[in-house]
């Protein structure tokens, strides 16, 4: 499960959790994110990667 958060102030912040399936590509994740029913996500989607050390 991945949690997507819009950190941009004054932009109608949102938080979405999406499952990740084996074999998923970045393009599939972007497409699934855009199809979550939020009409505001029809534009550019940028996904950042952050690796946390434990």
Contact 34, 42 (CB under 8 A): yes
Residue 54 is predicted with a pLDDT of: 62
What is the chain's Cα-based Rg? Answer: 12
Residue 43 is predicted with a pLDDT of: 66
Residue 42 is predicted with a pLDDT of: 63
Residue 23 is predicted with a pLDDT of: 93
> Tokens in use for 19?
């499952």
Tens-level pLDDT at each residue, the chain (54 residues): 777 777 776 666 677 788 889 999 988 988 888 787 655 556 677 777 777 776
Using left for φ > 0, alpha for ψ between -120 and 50, and beta otherwise, residue 23 falls in left
Domain ranges of the chain: 2-42
> Tokens in use for 26?
């970045």
Place of tokens 């970045």: 26
């Amino acid at each position: 499960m991945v949690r997507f958060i819009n950190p941009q102030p004054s932009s109608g912040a949102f938080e979405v959790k999406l499952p990740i399936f084996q074999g998923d590509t970045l393009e599939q994740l972007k497409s699934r994110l855009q199809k979550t029913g939020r009409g505001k996500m029809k534009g550019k989607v940028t996904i950042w990667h952050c690796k946390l050390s434990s």
